[in-house]
Structure 1
Amino acid sequence: MDMTSVGDNGLLDTLQHEVALFARRAEQTRLGGVGQVRNSMDRAAYLLLNRLDKEGPMGVKALAASMGIDSSTVTRQVAPLVDTGLVKRTSHPEDGRAVVLQLSPRGQTRLEEVRASRRRLMAELTHDWSPQERESFCTLLTRFNAALSARMSAQGVPAPETRQDS
């Protein structure tokens, strides 16, 4: 079935245009937040730190799988986080030969600063929205991201989890 024939093509054109604008603006600003920590953490670092915070210590392969990216990419992205003390490498508690990545106390503090800054930005951007509008937007954006992930999975592309950290 040709999905472009469902509904209003003008509305679908507007939707794809707005999504493209959102992607460009989000990348340009990195939705970095406000205040001193604005734009001070790149997207890859934020997503890795957030995942380690949400899921706890894990190996590179597990982290890569949970994020839907290649292990070599995780290794490359984690290196500067280890160098700056935001992530620590430790031995696996059950297999001392295996390495586990863990959010350091410094990384936890930094992540909380960035989260707070980004929350302030979201509050600023939606200050004139009702709580129901914020909830609806969040629900629809989550649904949209889930649909993108499902499409990627159907095409054999590993898709990261869509809630809060992808």
Structure 2
Amino acid sequence: MTSSENDALLDAVGPAFSKLRRGVLMEVENPVSAKDMSRSLVLAIVQEGEREMTVGAVAERLGVDPSVGSRMVSDCISAGYLSRAASQQDGRRTVLHLTSEGEAMMTRFRRLQREAFEYITADWSERERLEFARLMLKYVDAVAGLRHRGPAS
């Protein structure tokens, strides 16, 4: 490929990610509702949290106002997916935990994500699927590492 073709390819990555973010799981064979997509974002943050997760921490990770984060967490609590508990490190704080229903919801959601990936890539070779999966995980790990590197200059 030429340099300009490489540039065009790299320039297309950002818009492609934007398209993915707009709801690919709502457009596949077994679509996920917008409500469940929203809930799964909150539950994943709590499930993957490296520390005790508070409502504020969830809002921060989602990049939303604390009031929006609070409404999203409250919805998950009302649905039975999350519970609040006193922090073991600071009894004045309230932390979030997945309930057994929340764990089951995430298990179902992870299964749907895999099914969506397989549906979307049905005409790809096994080698292409595995290479894309490997590179996507590498990319996500690099993004997670940005928290430790600080802002770009």
Check if 1:51 corresponds to 2:45: yes
Q: For residues 29 and 62 of structure 1, do their structure 2 counterparts lie closer, same or farther at Cα, with a shift above 3 Å needed?
A: closer
Check if 1:106 corresponds to 2:78: no
- RMSD of aligned alpha carbons: 3.6
- Residues of 1 paired with 2:9 and 2:84: CA distance? 46
How big is the shift at 1:116? 1.1
| CA deviation profile, 1:74-109 (whole Å, cap 9, x unmatched) | 434312111222111112235433211001111111
1:127 corresponds to: 122
2:25 corresponds to: 31
Letter in 2 for 1:81: C
- Residues of 2 paired with 1:109 and 1:75: CA distance? 22
2:88 corresponds to: 93
Letter in 1 for 2:131: S
Q: For residues 54 and 62 of structure 1, do their structure 2 counterparts lie closer, same or farther at Cα, with a shift above 3 Å needed?
A: same
| CA deviation profile, 1:5-38 (whole Å, cap 9, x unmatched) | xx612222133225414422x2343424643x62
Number of residues of Structure 1 aligned to a counterpart in Structure 2 = 147
Contact 1:92 1:98 survives alignment (8 Å)? yes
SS of residue in 1 equivalent to 2:25: coil
Q: Unpaired segments of 5 or more residues in structure 2?
A: none
Check if 1:154 corresponds to 2:117: no
| CA deviation profile, 1:115-150 (whole Å, cap 9, x unmatched) | 111111101112233333222212333444526974
Q: Which has the higher contact order (CA 8 A, sep 6+)?
A: 1
SS of residue in 2 equivalent to 1:138: helix
2:132 corresponds to: 137
